[in-house]
């Protein structure tokens, strides 16, 4: 029997309650599809910072390295620790494990209300590939006489050939795969080379080089500002979008609204070479004010589990999770407050699990 070790880092705020639903669905899928999951929880986060002076232990990455995958709830609680300090934990894992692809599917499930009028299950079905280890998030720069009248701060982006090339190549390869499954076969380059005259000009040049090797995939480009407009105006145009770290971060919150809100958007921090465990997470924040109320939507976390199962090669189980999510949302009887329901986080998780279990082969 296949067996997987999954590290669960629930994090702050509502992290523990959504992680519980993620693990419930993971365990249910394992029972149904005949594999084993051993999950181990790590109470790393802001409370630990307050007691021990660090978000996670110094050897955290060594510990995590022994796992097959990581589920991350959500990190950060600005009332306890400044965000730029607490979030070093998330960014540290992404970079430390060279999870250079941040895979963010943008899909609207039938039955889910979205505030965006053009968004329908037919028009919203694309993937954003976000660079995840460098670019604008390289954390290079400094404060120079910050208290002086002429003080300033510098923040430098680092765009390496290797870093750009590998993530753009991943986007093209994904577009090839999607094309064989009936999608358009198009990679949109999210750029800003009209204003960022070094980093983004370099990025564009590498995009063109990689595109050259994939003549059957349509080339496409949009400046990031215009891209936000096109996401709303013509979501059906998009197939695969490749973006730098910061731009990918920004456009995927808009993508989440096309999907019905932050309660539906999941992401995978992937090391495609599988040297290290990949990490799956809902992309929403930790909503500290709702802690313990069991009111937030667990679907984003369940979607993260679906992506994890796909990554682990348990594709039948992943598809079953997808059907159970679709069934739950389409029936619309059991739903959380964000989409007009009255149910709790665990009631939605239990409903997804029930559907997985009860589905006839
Ligand atoms: C995300 C988040 C993080 C990011 C924050 C919490 C540092 O917004 O995963 O999208 O900017 O990458
Ligand atoms: Mn974000």
Of 330, 270, 320, nearest to 105 by C-alpha is 270
pLDDT, position 337: 97
Beta carbons of 45 and 288 less than 8 angstroms apart: no
- 0.85 surpassed by pTM: yes
Specify the 3-state DSSP secondary structure of 138: strand
- DSSP-assigned states of every residue in 46-109: HHHHHHHSSSS-TTHHHHHHTSSEEEEEE---TTTS-HHHHTHHHHHHHHHTT--EEEEEEE--
pLDDT, position 361: 72
Substitution site in 78, 87, 138, 259 for ligand 1 pocket (most atoms within 8 Å of beta carbon): 87
Q: At what angle do helices 245-258 and 224-233 cross, to 10 degrees?
A: 10
Instruction: Report how far Cα 264 is from the mean position of its chain's Cα atoms.
Output: 11
pLDDT, position 255: 98
Whats the size of the chain, residue-wise?
A: 361
Q: What tokens were used for 307?
A: 């992506």
Question: Atom 11 in ligand 1: which residue has the minimum CA distance?
Answer: 249
Looking at the CA of residue 90, tell me the nearest atom of ligand 1: 7
Looking at the CA of residue 91, tell me the nearest atom of ligand 1: 7
87 lines ligand 1 (CB under 6 A): yes
The alpha carbon of 253 and the centre of ligand 2 are apart by a number of angstroms equal to 6
Phi–psi pair at 109, nearest 5 degrees? -75, 140
Each residue's pLDDT expressed in tens, for the chain with a length of 361 residues: 999 999 999 999 999 999 999 999 999 999 999 999 999 999 999 999 999 999 999 999 999 999 999 999 999 999 999 999 999 999 999 999 999 999 999 999 999 999 999 999 999 999 999 999 999 999 999 999 999 999 999 999 999 999 999 999 999 999 999 999 999 999 999 999 999 999 999 999 999 999 999 999 999 999 999 999 999 999 999 999 999 999 999 999 999 999 999 999 999 999 999 999 999 999 999 999 999 999 999 999 999 999 999 999 999 999 999 999 999 999 999 999 999 999 999 999 999 999 999 998 7
First to last CA, the chain: 20
Beta-strand runs (E) in the chain? 3-11, 36-41, 69-74, 101-107, 125-131, 135-144, 152-158, 186-191, 218-223, 240-243, 266-270, 278-282
CB neighbourhood size of 295 (10 A): 16
Beta carbons of 165 and 210 less than 8 angstroms apart: yes
- 57, HSE (Cβ side, Cα atoms, 13 Å): 8
What residues contact residue 151 under an 8 Å CB cut-off, 6+ apart?
143, 144, 145
Question: Atom 9 in ligand 1: which residue has the minimum CA distance?
Answer: 283
Burial of 244-273, coded b for 16+ CB within 10 Å and e otherwise, reads bbbbbbebbebbbbbbbbbbbbbbbbbbbe
249 lines ligand 1 (CB under 6 A): yes
């Amino acid at each position: 029997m296949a067996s997987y070790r999954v590290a669960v880092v629930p994090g702050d705020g509502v992290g523990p309650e959504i992680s519980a639903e993620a693990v419930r669905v993971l365990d249910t899928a394992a029972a149904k599809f005949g594999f084993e999951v051993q999950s181990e929880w790590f109470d790393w986060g802001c409370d630990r910072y307050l007691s021990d002076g660090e978000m996670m232990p110094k050897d955290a990455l060594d510990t995590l390295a022994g796992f097959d995958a990581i589920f991350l709830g959500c990190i950060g609680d600005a009332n306890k620790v400044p965000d730029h300090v607490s979030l070093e934990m998330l960014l540290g894992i992404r970079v430390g494990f060279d999870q250079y692809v941040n895979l963010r599917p943008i899909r609207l499930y039938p039955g889910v209300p979205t505030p965006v009028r053009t968004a329908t299950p037919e028009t919203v079905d694309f993937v954003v590939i976000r660079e995840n280890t460098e670019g604008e998030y390289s954390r290079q720069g400094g404060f120079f006489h910050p208290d002086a009248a002429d003080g300033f701060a510098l923040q430098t982006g680092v765009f390496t050939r290797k870093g750009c090339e590998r993530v753009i190549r991943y986007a093209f390869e994904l577009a090839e795969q999607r094309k064989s499954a009936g999608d358009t076969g198009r990679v949109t380059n999210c750029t800003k080379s009209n204003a960022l005259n070094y980093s983004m000009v370099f990025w564009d040049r590498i995009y063109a080089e990689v595109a050259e090797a994939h003549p059957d995939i349509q080339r496409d480009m949009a400046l990031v500002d215009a891209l936000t407009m096109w996401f709303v105006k013509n979501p059906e145009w998009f197939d695969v979008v490749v973006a730098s770290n910061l731009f990918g971060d920004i456009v995927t919150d808009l993508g989440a609204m096309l999907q019905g809100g932050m309660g539906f958007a999941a992401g995978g921090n992937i090391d495609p070479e599988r040297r290290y465990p990949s990490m799956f997470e809902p992309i929403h924040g930790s909503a500290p004010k709702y802690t313990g109320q069991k009111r937030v939507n667990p679907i984003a976390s369940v979607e993260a589990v679906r992506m994890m199962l796909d990554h682990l090669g348990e594709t039948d189980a992943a598809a079953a999770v997808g059907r159970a999510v679709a069934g739950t949302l389409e029936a619309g009887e059991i739903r959380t407050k964000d989409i007009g329901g009255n149910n709790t986080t665990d009631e939605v998780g239990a409903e997804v699990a029930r559907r997985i279990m009860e589905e006839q082969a």
